[in-house]
A and B are shown apart, each in its own frame.
Chain A
Amino acid sequence: MQNLDQKIFNFNIKEKIRTTNLGNIKIGGCCSFPFMKENNNMADPLIALEIPYNINEGYPDIIKLKWKDKTVEQILQNANSSEADLISVKFNLTGDLTEQEISNIKKFLKNTVSQFQKPFILRGANNNSIDLQLLPLLAENSPKECIIAFADEETYEKIVPYTAKYNHILVLRTPIDINLAKELNILSVDKGVNPDRILIDPDMGGLGYGLDYGYSIIEKIKQAAFDGDTMLNMPVIAFIGEESYRAKEAKSDTFDDNWGKYQDRAAMWEISGTSAMISAGADIVVVWNPDTVKVLKEML
């Protein structure tokens, strides 16, 4: 492009995405749209590999095949030696926390989170009544600073004090709406969160199930952030693995031949959705399939 007038390509920003550190990694810091090296943009999106606390039948074959007969600790060990930047643990509990459960979780945190050098995302059950007990427990007992996911409009008041006290990074989820995302950021900061320790989860659908809505919200958030909105320039996190494997295209092999082999399609469904989230500007993508981590790391 040396002979061309640079002005026809330029894009100027007023503000960059906030940066924060977690262990040995840096989150955020983008100063342009994805893949663009202008404005000295050096930040690449981070990839987290997610593993459930309880391995159960709810997971698709393609993922279970990767785990075979391994225990959760062994699977985490593999994740720790993979190319993923972070490890995400989903505490997929279904009932109230019993004393036994609480002591198991404490033991788990002690035995895994402190043992592995990769940073962790500790994720609740997507159930407000459980998460209101669970997330404070995780925040208090995690042996190191983590990302805690997620608080929403109904739970942030109770969860914020715990994550703020232990300097964890807090994921705030709002339902695919830029104004609600901004509002929850402001409310949470009022409650005591350091705005640099917030990640925006705009919620979203997976490929074929409303991905376009999440995609456009992320693009809008980035536009607003680069335009100087300091209550929207937090890094964006996308839990695309869970959404990808909700789709029947990724779960079931009852499709006709034109949809391709199940193994291929189920792998591609997450890879494609994740590539789209990165293209939209997500700063962290959380995936389920170790193959996705491999392919995307090569791509970036």
Chain B
Amino acid sequence: MELTGLQIFKYLPAAKKEESTNCKKCGCPTCMAFALKLAKKQIEIEKCPCVPEELKEKFAESSKIQQHEIKLSDSLVTGGETVMFRHDKTFVNRTVIAVHLDSEDKEFDIKLEKIKNYKTERIGECFKPDAVYLTGTNQKTAQNKIKNAGISVIPDSDLYTIVSADSISELEKNAKKLLEQGKTDIILELEYGHKSVAQIAEELTYIRRAAILNRYEPLTYPVMVKLPQTLDKLQACAAASVLICRYANIIVLNDFDEALLSTLFTLRQSIYTNPQKPLQVEPKIYEFNDPDRNAPVFLTTNFALTYFAVAGELESLQCGSYLVVTPSDGMSVLTAWSADKFTADLVAKSVRDYELAKKVDNRSIIIPGLLSHMKDELQEAMPEWDIVVGTIEACQIPEFIKSKEGVFS
């Protein structure tokens, strides 16, 4: 943990009411000002003549990096993690997912083309393989081809050194040697060997603990794992999924497989989402199953989970439908209501701004069952619409629609 300004201040003369309180020798007007600057590393600790040894030690320890961030190319970094659990803060740099290519492979160009053209999108985020892990003798030409395709290449000896070993103690020993030579751009490759993914996950956890909790220098570098060729597609999916969750910084897949990539990218997106900032969808009107002008209109907030729960049900209906999504800062229905992010005025304004009345002849809007108490308020704000209270759970929507048969087309 980094020291805060207040934690530093406790060691300074002003906090201890000593003689040299606010002596200004450091150039700051007060001890508190010095403490705050030091916490932000805007001043050197030596400037203060009164810093006790204990603070010096604590400060040195807390200034050590937990996990180094290593540049893999101009557009790709890895490492830099600061917590063991995503809920403690958030994970920083998403697991790099690389695909293996061999420069001697007769189908090199075809495979590279496939990797280059791969692109999927989910919740507004675009997914592509992050890098190619290149092997083979014909490296230079192949490297250029990959780079020209706009894809990062691993390894890149200009940027970092990879140390490989099949045990933590060997990794540590090799990393120490590099550190002694003054090299600090290091990638640790934990070799899979004949181990199970459970054993690899265990070793990765130990390495991450040594880095995050104990700042043990030789292990504070990003860790790469190459999946063994013996795994089939489904086994590779299980193994890579565990490695995304359990502390691999870089994963190298043996083969390019669309289903595998789209699955892993989706998992990675979930794990690396900032838990303190809910996922949002764009507030607007969404259409399902080519709705006609009499299709039912639902309304909810732009919290991604709420949206997906409702959207999933609307998609599964036989009939078309509309979903009006309000700009509610990504809050769920009840949270948004209690935080005034789902008010009658805001709903009325959204419906007006999105020009719903021009899209449909139907004049009913179905609101979430959790907000049934808002019915009158909404009715008053939107007299031209008939406010209908819908279901509490999204999964009850199909039944709800059935019960309204004949009301909608």
Q: Do A and B belong to a common assembly? A: yes
Q: Which residues of A contact B (CB under 8 A)?
A: 1-4, 7-11, 33-37, 205, 207-213, 215-216, 219-220, 223, 246-249, 256-261, 264-265, 267-269, 271-276, 278-280, 291, 295-296, 298-300
Whole-angstrom CA separation of A246 from B316 in the bound complex: 10
- Inter-chain CA distance A246–B205, complex, in Å, is 32
- B357 within 8 A of partner (CB): no
Q: A249-B262, A271-B241 given. 16 additional CB < 8 A pairs? A: A1-B167, A1-B206, A8-B209, A33-B205, A34-B246, A35-B246, A208-B122, A210-B304, A210-B305, A210-B308, A223-B85, A248-B315, A260-B263, A264-B259, A295-B238, A299-B242
Contact A212 B264 (CB under 8 A): no
Q: How many Å from the CB of B40 to the closest CB on chain A?
A: 28
**Cβ of A11 and Cβ of B209 under 8 Å apart?**
yes
Is B110 positioned at the interface, with any CB of A under 8 Å from its CB? no
B86, closest chain A residue (CB): A216
Contact (A4, B169) CB under 8 Å given A220-B87, A258-B262: yes
Contact of B168 among A4, A7, A34, A257 (CB under 8 A): A4
Residues of A within 8 A of B210 (CB): 8-9
- Is A2's CB under 8 angstroms from B257's CB? no
Docked Cα-Cα span, A220 to B216, in Å, equals 25
A215 adjacent to B305 (CB under 8 Å) = no
Can you list 23 residue pairs at the A/B interface with Cβ under 8 Å?
A1-B169, A8-B209, A8-B210, A35-B198, A35-B202, A207-B263, A208-B308, A215-B86, A215-B245, A215-B270, A216-B85, A216-B86, A247-B312, A257-B258, A259-B258, A261-B259, A264-B233, A265-B259, A268-B237, A274-B238, A276-B245, A280-B245, A298-B235
B286 interface residue, CB < 8 Å from A? no
A-B contact count (CB 8 A): 166
Q: Which residues of the partner chain B approach A3 to less than 8 Å between Cβ atoms?
A: 169, 173
B275 within 8 A of A: yes
Question: Are A272 and B197 touching (Cβ within 8 A)?
Answer: no
Within the complex, the shortest CB–CB distance from B218 to chain A, in Å, comes to 9
Residues of A within 8 A of B270 (CB): 207-208, 211-212, 215, 276
Residues 329-361 of chain B: 1 if any A CB is under 8 Å from the residue's CB, otherwise 0?
Answer: 000000000000000000000000000000000
B31, CB-defined interface residue at 8 Å: no
Give the contacting residue for B266; candidates A10, A37, A207; CB below 8 A. Answer: A207
Please count how many residues in chain B sit with their CB below 8 Å of the partner chain's CB atoms: 58
Q: Which of B238-267 contact A (CB under 8 A)?
A: 238-239, 241-242, 244-246, 257-264, 266-267
Q: Is B118 an interface residue (CB 8 A)?
A: yes
CB distance from A69 to the nearest CB of B (A): 25
B298-313 interface code vs A (CB 8 A; 1 in, 0 out): 0000001100110010
Main secondary structure of the interface of A (DSSP, over half): helix
Residue of B nearest to A41 (CB): B202
Asked if B196 lies at the interface with its beta carbon under 8 angstroms from chain A, I say yes
Residue on A with the closest CB to B198? A35
A8-B209, A35-B202 known; A268 vs B263 contact (CB < 8 Å): yes
Contact with A along B79-92 (1 / 0, CB 8 A): 00000011100000
Is B234 in contact with chain A by the CB < 8 A criterion? yes
Contact A213 B267 (CB under 8 A): no
CB-CB under 8 A for A35 and B205, given A267-B234, A291-B234: yes
| Contact of A272 with B237 in the complex, beta carbons under 8 Å | yes
| Interface: B214 (CB within 8 A) | yes
Contact with B267, one of A2, A207, A220, A265 (Cβ below 8 angstroms)? A207
Do residues A279 and B262 form an inter-chain contact, with CB atoms below 8 A? no
Say whether B20 faces chain A, with CB atoms less than 8 Å apart: no
Taking CB as reference atom, which chain A residue is nearest B204?
A35
Q: State the CA gap A223–B87 with chains docked (Å).
A: 11
Residue of B nearest to A217 (CB): B87
Please name the residue on chain B nearest to A36 by beta carbon. B202
